[in-house]
């Protein structure tokens, strides 16, 4: 370590920092250490695990795409259009970010449940109801992930210089053309980062999903809910599943760092 | 009101209020110090800043139109080339946005890049271009939409002196061929003198002077223009008095003799200017005086030193009391 010209970092800061790092790292290392590697392949290829893994990846990917289609316009609106109530809209969009996921599940039930404000007429009109279906899982994922995606993309749009939008307008482009050909391409790294963030948030989503959809293998049982169930009956399985999630999380982090965030 | 050209009488509240006109094919230089409202005026004409009043271009009022509906090309001060597009795609962007088929837009882009002397750089991205090349692409991009009004916001800013000179010559050639109105924002007297047919001087958000470059350079009415063209200008109730810095005599004692105007004050700065030394003296108002290096040594001139300035009445020019009214 090179000598810091400002002096040695004080112990009053270094000690809590070290504790914080240990607190974050030790449980993960312990989990890896406690894994029964002999039975791991067998655990990971069992049918409930593969079903849950497949369902998790499919629903998280679907939720990510929905978040992109719905979240990008909201982010653009917040970043590029001056209107009354913009602050309020941003606050409303951000609420699910700080909401306990179980509460999100209850809220979804009130709106999209079989007797919900939207759920009941929907059921009467089409015979379809969200709860306890894979669609319900995607809906719950979107609800909790969308704020992350909107905030991340809005940040990316804000950091892009608005002079390019102005240049585009003077060249005769409509706002839609400007959005497609200038705004989005310039903010693409941030948009991709937002999508990955949304995807990983969906992947780990537990509270809202289980509250709104229950825990049915094959239709609503995702990895986190399977881990929750397995934890009570089969410790080793829970351990193995958690290992997969850890590996996926680290992969996402690496992807974000190397490709888009550009941090050393 | 004539149908052709530009007729402006507009206000950007709190920023600038200006009225002037220009016939098609003419180049109007807009000069003035920072904060005079030059950029506000240009952005208002481009439709990027809301304005009141009117701005007729070939008989059509621009102000009710959105930026994209105006036949106005704007070359931004920092160029604002799209960084994710090649030079060709940048230039083709305007025609494409106006509904020209892709292939035709490409051809038009190549045509304009060729005219700007950059045919071999069509495939490059802005970050692979030098400052002068990027500025040429930006000008080509603005011209490719075939605007009736071309707005150039400080086109030479940030370029090396040699590059700026080459671009200035090239721009002069293109502007001669261009049949629309050009509005050139600059803080450089050379730009105004070499490129413009008319000069509009903005000061504190208003038009301070309007005229041909020669006239404005010879009879400046603002300190800013006086400094740009290297003249001393004094203002009083009856009009303006101007004289050249080299006609000023510098002495340590109050000069004797008749028919001389005199001032005194401390030397604020001294700079090499050609083969003379140009002094800025803190008289009220501040004046420029050119002296020989020998005189600097003999008089012991240094910043802070109190000196007397005088100029012969015969070396002074007096002109117009009232700015040409509009």
- Mean pLDDT, residues B224-249: 84
Residue of A nearest to B143 (CA): A171
Domain ranges within chain B, ordered by starting residue: 6-219, 230-319
Range B6-219 has CATH code 3.30.420.40: no
Which pLDDT tens digit goes with each residue over B133-192?
999 999 999 999 999 999 999 988 888 888 888 888 888 888 988 999 999 998 777 888
Which residues fall within 8 angstroms of residue B308, CB to CB, at 6 or more apart? B250, B251, B252, B253, B254, B255, B262, B263, B264
Do B87 and B99 form a contact (C-beta atoms < 8 A)? no
Which pLDDT tens digit goes with each residue over A2-43?
678 888 889 999 999 999 999 999 999 998 888 888 888 888
Contacts B142 to A, Cβ<8 Å: 170
Which residues fall within 8 angstroms of residue B311, CB to CB, at 6 or more apart? B243, B247, B248, B249, B260, B261
Q: Decide if B48 and A170 are in contact by the 8 Å CB cutoff.
A: yes
ipTM of the shown complex? 0.80
Q: How many CB pairs under 8 A join A and B?
A: 56
CATH of domain A44-160+187-261: 1.10.3720.10
Residue B269, number of CB atoms within 10 A of its CB: 11
Report the mean per-residue pLDDT for chain A: 89
Q: Decide if A164 and B74 are in contact by the 8 Å CB cutoff.
A: no
Q: Decide if A166 and B68 are in contact by the 8 Å CB cutoff.
A: no
Q: Decide if B97 and A173 are in contact by the 8 Å CB cutoff.
A: yes
Distance from CA of B96 to the nearest CA of A (A): 8
B interface with A, Cβ–Cβ below 8 Å:
46-48, 66-68, 70, 72-74, 76, 78, 80, 82-84, 93-94, 97-98, 141-142, 145
CB-closest option in B48, B70, B97 to A166: B48
Domain ranges within chain A, ordered by starting residue: 44-160+187-261
Q: Decide if A170 and B46 are in contact by the 8 Å CB cutoff.
A: yes
Q: Decide if A170 and B74 are in contact by the 8 Å CB cutoff.
A: yes
Helix residue spans in B178-280 (DSSP H): 189-195, 213-218, 223-229
- Is residue A56 over pLDDT 80? yes
SS3 state at B141: helix
Residue of A nearest to B77 (CA): A163
Distances A216 to A56, A132, A141, A145, B75 between C-alpha atoms, Å: 13, 8, 16, 22, 61
CB-closest option in B76, B97, B145 to A163: B76
CATH class of B230-319: mainly beta
A184 in B contact zone (CB under 8 Å): no
Distance from CA of A264 to the nearest CA of B (A): 23
- Mean pLDDT, residues B35-44: 90
CA pair distance A210, A136, nearest whole angstrom = 10
Do B57 and B72 form a contact (C-beta atoms < 8 A)? yes
Distance from CA of A211 to the nearest CA of B (A): 45
**pLDDT band at residue A264 under the 50/70/90 scheme:** very low
Highest mean pLDDT: which range of A64-78, A83-97, A245-259: A64-78
Q: Decide if A167 and B80 are in contact by the 8 Å CB cutoff.
A: yes
CA pair distance B50, B64, nearest whole angstrom = 10
């Amino acid at each position: 370590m090179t000598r810091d010209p400002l002096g040695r970092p004080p112990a009053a800061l270094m000690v809590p920092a070290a504790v914080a790092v240990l607190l974050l790292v030790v449980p993960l290392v312990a989990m890896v250490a406690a894994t029964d590697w002999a039975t791991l392949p067998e655990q990971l290829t069992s049918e409930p695990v593969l079903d849950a893994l497949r369902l998790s990846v499919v629903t998280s990917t679907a939720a990510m795409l929905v978040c992109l289609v719905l979240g990008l316009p909201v982010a653009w609106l917040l970043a590029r259009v001056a209107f009354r109530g913009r602050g309020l809209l941003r606050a409303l969009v951000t609420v699910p970010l700080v909401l306990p996921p179980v509460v999100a599940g209850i809220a979804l039930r009130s709106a999209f449940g079989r007797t919900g404000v939207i759920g009941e007429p929907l059921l009467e009109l089409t015979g379809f109801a969200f709860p306890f279906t894979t669609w319900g899982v995607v809906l719950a994922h979107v609800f909790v992930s969308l704020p992350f995606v909107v905030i991340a993309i809005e940040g990316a749009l804000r950091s892009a210089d608005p002079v390019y939008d102005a240049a585009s307008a003077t060249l005769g482009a409509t706002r839609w053309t400007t959005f497609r050909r200038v705004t989005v391409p310039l903010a693409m790294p941030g948009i991709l980062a937002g999508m990955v963030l949304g995807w990983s948030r969906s992947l780990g989503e537990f509270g809202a999903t289980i509250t709104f959809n229950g825990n049915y293998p094959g239709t609503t049982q995702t990895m986190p809910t399977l881990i929750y169930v397995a934890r009570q009956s089969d410790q080793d399985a829970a351990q193995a599943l958690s290992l997969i999630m850890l590996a996926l999380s680290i992969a996402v982090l690496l992807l974000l760092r190397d490709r888009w965030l550009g941090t050393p | 009101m004539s149908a052709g050209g530009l007729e402006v009488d507009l206000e950007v509240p709190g920023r600038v209020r200006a009225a002037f006109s220009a016939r098609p094919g003419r180049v109007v230089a807009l000069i003035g110090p920072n904060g005079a409202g030059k950029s506000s005026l240009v952005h208002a004409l481009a439709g990027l800043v809301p304005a009141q009043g009117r701005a007729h271009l070939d008989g059509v009022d621009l102000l009710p139109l959105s930026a994209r509906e105006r036949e106005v090309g704007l070359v931004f001060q920092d160029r604002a080339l799209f960084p994710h597009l090649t030079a060709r795609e940048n230039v083709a962007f305007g025609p494409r946005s106006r509904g020209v088929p892709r292939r035709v837009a490409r051809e038009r882009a190549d045509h304009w890049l060729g005219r700007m002397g950059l045919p071999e750089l069509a495939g490059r991205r802005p970050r692979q271009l030098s400052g002068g090349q990027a500025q040429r692409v930006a000008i080509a991009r603005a011209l490719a939409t075939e605007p009736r009004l071309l707005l150039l916001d400080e086109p030479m800013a940030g370029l090396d002196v040699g590059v700026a000179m080459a671009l200035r010559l090239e721009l002069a050639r293109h502007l001669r061929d261009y049949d629309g109105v050009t509005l050139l924002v600059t803080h450089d007297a050379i730009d105004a003198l070499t490129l413009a047919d008319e000069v509009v001087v903005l000061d504190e958000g208003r038009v301070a002077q309007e005229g041909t470059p020669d006239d404005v350079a010879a009879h400046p009415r603002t300190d800013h223009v006086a400094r740009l063209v290297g003249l001393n200008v004094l203002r009083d109730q009856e009009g303006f008095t101007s004289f050249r810095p080299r006609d000023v005599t510098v002495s340590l004692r109050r000069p004797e003799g008749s028919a001389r105007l005199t001032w005194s004050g401390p030397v604020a700065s001294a700079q090499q200017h050609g083969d003379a030394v140009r002094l800025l003296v803190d008289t009220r108002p501040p004046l420029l005086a050119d002296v020989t290096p020998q005189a600097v040594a003999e008089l012991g001139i240094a910043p802070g030193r109190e000196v007397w300035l005088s100029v012969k009445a015969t070396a002074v020019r007096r002109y117009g009391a009232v700015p040409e009214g509009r």
